Amino acid sequence: MVEPSRKLSLEPLVRIGTVDGAPETQWGSVVSLQVEVDAGEVYVGDGVSNRLRVFGVDGAFRRAWGRSGDGPGEFNGGPLVSVGRDTVVATDGFRVNVFTAEGEVIRTFTPRPLERVSFLESISPVDDGWIALIREVVPGRGQLRRAYAMDLAGLLTGEPVLEVPYQEAGTPSLFAPRARVAHHGDGIVVSDAVEYRIERRGPRGRVQSVHRFTDALVAVSEADFDRYETATDARCRASDGAALCVPLLDDHFSAVRRRGLPAARPVVGRLLGSADGTILVQRADLDPTPFTPGDETLWDLVADDGRWLGRIEFPLGMRPVWLGADQIWGVELDAFDVPTVVGYRIRVVE
């Protein structure tokens, strides 16, 4: 897509969002975004209206459907959307709705068999079907992220093709100990915080390529850890789950201090895969709260075979959601946290 090791820039393509304009361009909360390149359309899931809206890549509104509820074509949360094989698939985390590209309901189902507490994070098409990424609570093992092959009758087929802990323990990436997982082309891309690498896996879970980061371990100071502890504790106490979160964090902080502060590397914050093989990796410098507004973050663009292609600096408040065809689409928040859907083209800086 681009020449390796060159600096990359973003050329603005379109902005979709208004504060006082037409209702279809006002966003409550953008929870998902998918670009259908061949049709020249952008599908966006709104987390307040629980509707799917479709725009042309020029920003023109085309159609919308969905609403809150338990019936066919309805959602009990913001719809997480995926598009493939002339089909639109969207989930609220528990049920799945399958639509035509025009919004007609084909079927509604809950994936089966799922006997444990679970949350369906995303669905993506692969060559011979679909892959569902599910967060499950397994007795004696805690929360796991698992990927299953799935058909559109709702059946999860066979054993998981991927299984990673939702929360990894004892990793050198102190400030982001979770494994990151994302759909990617015909499979999945996953970060390994212990080995400090990302792996591209096929639809059956086999490792196809590996990209290893080479950043050296850096000592974490007491002051760094104090800031991390203070900021994390404040977010925990302000959350809806404070009653559960606070004692767990207290145990975590105590355990880290008993073991001694480990050395750490720039953390892998997010992964974003694409249909055409490139991978976007968010990392952060050694900062105790690296992913809060205003912090400097690094985004690496990596090729399908593991080659590093370059580094991109995003506008403040930009959250990339879709990558492909030399474009990045995402959501930008203004100073009042009002979202706007944005599209950029990736350019090489000569």
CATH no. for residue 175?
Answer: 2.120.10.30
Q: Cβ–Cβ contacts within 10 Å for residue 178, how many?
A: 19
Residues 243 and 185 in one domain: no
Evaluate whether residue 268 is within a structural domain: no
Residues 244 and 333 in one domain: no
Contact 172, 217 (CB under 8 A): yes
Residues 179 and 46 in one domain: yes
Residues 161 and 242 in one domain: no
User: What's the confidence (pLDDT) of residue 142?
Assistant: 77
Evaluate whether residue 310 is within a structural domain: no
Spatial neighbors of 250 by CB under 8 A, at least 6 apart, are none
Residues 63 and 203 in one domain: yes
Residues 56 and 81 in one domain: yes
Evaluate whether residue 272 is within a structural domain: no
Evaluate whether residue 213 is within a structural domain: no
Evaluate whether residue 97 is within a structural domain: yes
User: What's the confidence (pLDDT) of residue 24?
Assistant: 92
- How many domains does one find in the chain? 2
- Residue 132: CA atoms inside 13 Å, Cβ hemisphere, count? 32
Q: How far apart are CA 350 and CA 348, in angstroms?
A: 6
Residues 250 and 331 in one domain: no
User: What's the confidence (pLDDT) of residue 297?
Assistant: 62
User: What's the confidence (pLDDT) of residue 154?
Assistant: 81
Q: How far apart are CA 251 and CA 119, in angstroms?
A: 26
Residues 119 and 238 in one domain: no
Q: Which domain holds residue 137?
A: 10-17+27-207+327-348
DSSP designation for 62: E
pLDDT tens over the chain, length 350 residues: 344 456 889 999 999 998 888 899 999 899 999 999 999 999 999 999 999 999 999 999 999 999 999 999 999 999 999 998 789 999 999 899 999 999 999 999 988 876 556 889 999 988 778 999 998 887 877 788 889 888 888 888 778 888 887 765 444 344 455 678 888 888 888 887 666 788 888 888 888 888 887 767 777 778 878 877 887 788 788 877 788 778 888 887 888 788 777 676 666 778 899 988 889 988 655 444 444 444 446 688 888 877 888 888 888 788 899 999 899 999 998 878 889 999 999 998 76
Q: How far apart are CA 240 and CA 262, in angstroms?
A: 30
Residues 227 and 199 in one domain: no
Evaluate whether residue 187 is within a structural domain: yes
Q: Name the pTM for this structure.
A: 0.83
Q: How far apart are CA 54 and CA 137, in angstroms?
A: 34
Evaluate whether residue 1 is within a structural domain: no
Evaluate whether residue 216 is within a structural domain: no
Residues 159 and 242 in one domain: no
User: What's the confidence (pLDDT) of residue 233?
Assistant: 83
Structure tokens at 254: 């105590």
User: What's the confidence (pLDDT) of residue 266?
Assistant: 65
Residues 162 and 237 in one domain: no
SS3 (DSSP) at 152: coil
**Beta strands 96-100 and 263-264, pairing class:** unpaired
User: What's the confidence (pLDDT) of residue 350?
Assistant: 62
Residues 124 and 238 in one domain: no
